[in-house]
Amino acid sequence: AQKVTQAQTEISVVEKEDVTLDCVYETRDTTYYLFWYKQPPSGELVFLIRRNSFDEQNEISGRYSWNFQKSTSSFNFTITASQVVDSAVYFCALSEKNNAGKSTFGDGTTLTVKP
Partner 1 sequence: DAMVIQNPRYQVTQFGKPVTLSCSQTLNHNVMYWYQQKSSQAPKLLFHYYDKDFNNEADTPDNFQSRRPNTSFCFLDIRSPGLGDAAMYLCATSGTGYGYEQYFGPGTRLTVT
Binding site for partner 1 (CB under 8 A): 33, 35, 37, 42-47, 50, 52, 91, 95-97, 99-103, 105-108, 110
Please give the Cα distance from 11 to 35 (Å, whole number): 20
Q: Which is nearer to partner 1, 15 or 110 (CB)?
A: 110
Tell me whether residue 67 or residue 103 sits nearer to partner 1 (CB atom).
Answer: 103
| CA dihedral sign of residues 26, 10, 101, 67 | negative
Which CB atom, from 15 or from 38, has the smaller least distance to partner 1?
38
Q: What is the nearest approach in angstroms of partner 1 to the Cβ of residue 113?
A: 18
Q: How far apart are CA 60 and CA 66, in angstroms?
A: 7
Nearest to 54 by CA among 33, 26, 71: 33
**CB of 57: closest distance to partner 1 in angstroms?**
16
